[in-house]
Amino acid sequence: MEEKKELIYGLNDRPPFRESLFAAMQHLLAIFVAIITPPLIISSALQFDINTTAFMVSMSLFVSGIATFIQCHTIGPIGAGLLCIQGTSFSFISPIIGAGMLGMVGGKMNVEVGLSYIFGACLVSSVVEMVVSRILPYTRKIITPLVSGIVVTLIGLCLIKAGITSCGGGQGAMSKGTFGSIQNLSIALLVLVSIIFFNRSKNRFLRMGSIVLGLIIGCLVAYFWGMIDFSTLTESTSFYLPVPFKYGLRFDLGTIIAIGLIYLVTAVEAFGDITANSLISGQPVEGNIFMKRARGGILADGFNSMLAAIFNSFPNSIFAQNNGMIQLTGVASRYIGYFIAAALVILGLFPVIGIVFSLIPDCVLGGATLLMFGTVAAAGVRIISSTEINRKSVLVIAISFAMGLSVELVPNILDKMPDVIHNIFSSGITTGGLTAILANAFISIKE
């Protein structure tokens, strides 16, 4: 009741067009960079050319628009029926890069092969989250807050490696011998400091736009140093027609299992996001209505990720940051989601958007993502700290971090293993996550 009193527009209210548009723009400001960053990181790590990178960015926007509409509108049992915004998930970056490396032949990346393995694994594994939505009460007993906190922390810690690589200039700088140059590191530091500066502002618009502003400052400096070439803009097509299965599908058991584990944890995160969204929107957070919303939202999470694989994009998840936006604006109307969805679809259909963002130098992106990934790790620590830390918890945390970080720090430890084992456990997130689930289930301590 308290939340309802603070809302200007409730869940099923229809705000006037101008107010709807303004609220939608604020949500877009909060999510735009988060949607395009995963495809940029993955493309950089797998050395995709600028046109492929631009296409990945555009399809991420396009699919996020469709996914957001499904969550807000609902189609049969699919969707939460809340103002839930979906976008490309950071959680899958590390195992997706591992899957893409299967396309590396003779030291050179075969883009089509790499992407076919990625989309094949993401398509098949999305079934995991859809199944979880049907057996939700039981999975919550397996994936406890302690387990999900460990996995979220590992996601942040493992991705920091990708962030710092970008700060140094990325794979391109490595091949040119300029990796870690003063120029690259100074721009990355400038972006990082700029984001922190704006994020500390009392002005909520500067705070919401801190990442965008930091990237703009970094790009301006990079442009004057000759690191951005706009000549490629003239070579782009004027319109993208989404083509299902453009790169085909290939399947590898190891990567399917590795990505499937992330879907399992993502389902639990989605449950938390839907609970928070329901609370902020003045809706019940228990009982049949709530459980129907939660199951529909998690089902949509998996279904939308399957759509993403079909339309050559990466897995989607509900964005938690938009819950804060609802609280700030007092607008919880799910009809705002239609405006957001339409804007994302339109942006995704015009390749110039993707190409402009694919021109961002790795060092600029690295300065922003380093902070983002650190924030993800901090969020995981908060989840862990919200649970009771007893002797069993300490053991579960210790063995999970030890196993997860060991394969990240010394990846060649798995070189003698069969390919299936190597592909499953090459990601620290997968290794640490599986360890956390098993340790939490089987370690028993009598006080």
pLDDT bucket at 242, cuts 50 / 70 / 90: confident
Give the per-residue pLDDT at 65.
Answer: 95
Q: Indicate the pLDDT class of residue 192, thresholds 50, 70 and 90.
A: very high
* Beta-carbon-side half-sphere exposure of residue 384 (alpha carbons within 13 Å): 23
Is residue 350 assigned to a domain? yes
Query: Does 3 reside within a domain?
Result: no
8 A C-beta contact, residue 103 and residue 115: yes
305 part of a folded domain: yes
Residue 246 placed within a domain: no
* Phi, psi torsion values for 86, nearest 5 degrees: -110, 145
pLDDT at 372: 77
pLDDT at 299 over 50: yes
Q: What is the pLDDT of residues 85-135, one digit of tens each?
A: 898 988 888 889 989 999 887 778 899 999 999 999 999 999 999 999 988
Judge whether residue 237 has pLDDT over 70: no
* In a domain? residue 289: yes
What's residue 233's pLDDT? 64
The maximal CA–CA distance of the chain, rounded, in angstroms, is: 70
DSSP string of 307-333? HHHHTT---EEE-THHHHHHHHH-B--
Model pLDDT, residue 447 = 59
Among candidate residues 72, 115, 440, the one with its CA nearest the CA of residue 268: 440
Structural domains counted in the chain: 1
Residue 65 lies in a domain: yes
- pTM exceeding the 0.75 threshold for the entire prediction: yes
Task: Check residue 297 and give its pLDDT.
Answer: 94
Residue 411 burial class via C-beta count within 10 angstroms: exposed 0-12, middle 13-18, buried 19 and up: middle
pLDDT one-digit tens code per residue, 321-371: 677 677 766 788 899 999 999 999 998 888 777 777 778 888 988 888 888
* Distance separating alpha carbons of residues 420 and 218, to the nearest angstrom: 41
What average pLDDT score do residues 247-258 get? 90
Q: Looking at the DSSP assignment, which residues form a beta bridge with residue 87?
A: 317
Residue 72 is predicted with a pLDDT of: 94
Q: What is the DSSP string of 133-150?
A: HHTHHHHHHHS-HHHHHH
8 domain residue, yes or no? no
Q: Quick one: pLDDT at residue 63?
A: 95
Q: Is 237 part of any domain? A: no
pLDDT attached to residue 251: 94
CA distances from 65 to 16, 48, 85, 204, 340 (A): 21, 24, 9, 25, 7
Tokens of 178: 């300029």
Residues spanned by the domain of 311: 17-230+251-442
171 to 27, 63, 229, 359, 438: CA distances (angstroms):
33, 27, 18, 15, 36
- Residue 50: pLDDT above 90? no
Tokens of residue 186, six digits: 């100074």
H or E, element range at 35? helix 17-45
Mean pLDDT within 379-388: 82
CA distance 406 to 401: 8
